[in-house]
């Protein structure tokens, strides 16, 4: 089936991305995994090449190109190289943190953070999850108390993507403990602020190169000017921006599954057993046929969601559908591909093994599969009859 999502401009951009991956990414993947950290040079190289900060307005140092299809191209090419950790890091920067600053920030905040983000000189993070609050953000206990011209932040965050590398963190905090969902605000805490410390770099099952950390706030005094958006509207501001975050996870899931499937398809017609390629056995062919069909069908829905995002019509419900379906598909496809590799699939030198580990988080972060189904189910109940 032909894919008509992209134009000639996207195809030319893909060539630029491929060259970047060959030069800056592929030679460093093993070292990043070994070091449990993606170092700064690739961020600077991506900024110089215009591969990050593409949606940031030109006036703020970015590419001024909000078309999400360019992000799809970048994610697909990184997935082809097996760079899942870098996808996570770049997607956080461009599809989560930058939009918050761009859409909610004051003129001064935009000048302070966006040019550095577009250049790869500043790395941002967002701190939602806590030891006792994951998908249920209303369980957040971190507080920010106004004291004159400052906010005083106290609390703890965990599972924070880019938590080690981040130069600033958007912290979800309670600013009014008696206001329920209207008592949350977003406060930006910058590296070096007294009382702001990082805990462990967490040791994960997969995404080893992607730095994930615990963060601690002990009477951290933050200038009042670091409030992002409106006081008390933090929860609403989070909900309004979740469709893009969830679609970006779906994009990574689909791209990752397609990359592993392509490699497995080649393997099945190169690997022989009982005197012929294993791809010539009916069971293998049926497995490949089923996965190919599921990927094609999922791609059609994903591409429709991309168009809706570009048009400003992607709903939270449709984004939830894309997120849970694509991530569960990724998990399922990679598991089946590993099985087709036999014993070699269990060896980390084969891409399918690393993909098996890296993909497991996809159905959890950004809202679990169960939360996605709850969002969809509530909408069905609300519109019943």
The half-sphere exposure of 157 on its side-chain side, counting CA atoms within 13 A, is: 29
Q: Report the alpha-carbon distance of residue 140 to residue 157 in Å, rounded.
A: 9
Percent of the chain with pLDDT over 70: 98
Which long-range CB contacts under 8 A does 368-377 form with residues at least 24 apart? Answer: 368/134, 368/135, 369/324, 369/327, 369/328, 370/135, 371/135, 372/246, 372/320, 372/321, 372/323, 372/324, 373/320, 373/324, 375/316, 375/317, 375/320, 376/317, 376/320, 376/321
Q: Say what the pLDDT of residue 170 is.
A: 98
Q: Where do the CATH 1.20.140.10 domains begin and end in the chain?
A: 235-382
- Longest C-alpha distance within the chain, in Å? 79
Residue with tokens 């000017």: 225
| Residue 3: pLDDT band with limits 50, 70, 90 | confident
Residue 232 reports pLDDT greater than 90: yes
pTM of the model: 0.95
**The domain defined by 125-232 carries CATH number 2.40.110.10:** yes
What is the distance, to the nearest Å, from the Cα of residue 190 to the centroid of all Cα atoms in its chain?
Answer: 21
Among this protein's residues, is 245 annotated catalytic? yes
Residue 1 reports pLDDT greater than 70: no
Find out whether 28 and 40 touch, Cβ atoms under 8 Å: no
Q: Report the alpha-carbon distance of residue 266 to residue 262 in Å, rounded.
A: 6
Give the fold, CATH level 3, of 8-122. Answer: Butyryl-Coa Dehydrogenase, subunit A; domain 1 (1.10.540)
Find out whether 187 and 151 touch, Cβ atoms under 8 Å: yes
Average pLDDT over residues 344-372: 96
Q: Say what the pLDDT of residue 135 is.
A: 67
Instruction: State the average pLDDT for the chain.
Output: 96
Q: Where do the CATH 2.40.110.10 domains begin and end in the chain?
A: 125-232
Q: Where do the CATH 1.10.540.10 domains begin and end in the chain?
A: 8-122
| Residue 94: pLDDT band with limits 50, 70, 90 | very high
- Retrieve residue 367's tokens: 């809202």
Q: Say what the pLDDT of residue 180 is.
A: 86
* CATH placement of domain 235-382: 1.20.140.10
- Retrieve residue 77's tokens: 């090419």
Q: Which of 130, 245, 258, 263 is catalytic?
A: 245
Q: Say what the pLDDT of residue 165 is.
A: 96
| Residue 13: pLDDT band with limits 50, 70, 90 | very high
Q: Say what the pLDDT of residue 136 is.
A: 67
Find out whether 357 and 205 touch, Cβ atoms under 8 Å: yes
């Amino acid at each position: 089936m032909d894919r008509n999502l992209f134009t000639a401009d996207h195809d030319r951009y893909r060539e630029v991305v491929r060259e970047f991956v060959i030069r800056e990414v592929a030679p460093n993947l093993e070292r990043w995994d070994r070091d449990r950290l993606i170092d700064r040079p690739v961020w600077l190289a991506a900024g110089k090449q215009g591969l990050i900060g593409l949606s940031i307005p030109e006036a703020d140092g970015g590419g001024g190109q909000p078309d999400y299809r360019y992000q799809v191209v970048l994610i697909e090419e990184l997935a082809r190289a097996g760079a899942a950790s870098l996808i996570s890091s770049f997607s956080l920067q461009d599809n989560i943190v930058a939009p918050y600053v761009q859409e909610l920030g004051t003129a001064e905040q935009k000048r302070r953070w966006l040019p550095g983000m577009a250049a790869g000189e500043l790395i941002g993070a967002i701190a939602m999850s806590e030891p006792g609050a994951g998908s249920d953000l209303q369980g957040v206990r971190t507080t920010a108390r106004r004291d004159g011209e400052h906010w005083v932040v106290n609390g703890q965050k965990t599972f924070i993507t880019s938590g080690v590398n981040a130069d600033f963190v958007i912290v979800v905090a309670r600013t009014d403990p008696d206001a329920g969902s209207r008592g949350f605000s977003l406060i930006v805490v910058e590296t070096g602020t007294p009382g702001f410390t990082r805990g462990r770099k967490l040791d994960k099952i997969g995404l080893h190169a992607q730095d994930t950390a615990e963060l601690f706030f002990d009477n951290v005094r933050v200038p009042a000017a670091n409030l992002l958006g409106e006081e008390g509207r933090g929860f609403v501001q989070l909900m309004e921006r979740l469709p893009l975050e969830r679609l970006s996870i779906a994009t990574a899931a689909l791209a990752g599954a397609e990359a592993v499937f392509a490699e497995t398809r080649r393997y099945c017609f190169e690997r022989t057993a009982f005197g012929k390629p294993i791809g010539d056995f009916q069971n293998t062919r049926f497995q490949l046929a089923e996965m190919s069909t599921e990927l094609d069908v999922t791609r059609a829905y994903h591409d429709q969601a991309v168009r809706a995002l570009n048009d400003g019509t992607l709903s939270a419900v449709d984004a939830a559908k894309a997120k849970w379906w694509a991530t569960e598909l990724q998990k399922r496809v990679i598991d089946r591909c590993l099985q087709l590799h036999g014993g070699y699939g269990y060896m980390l030198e084969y891409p399918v093994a690393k993909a098996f580990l890296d993909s497991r988080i996809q159905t959890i972060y950004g809202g679990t599969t169960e939360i996605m189904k709850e969002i969809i189910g509530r909408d069905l109940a609300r519109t019943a009859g």
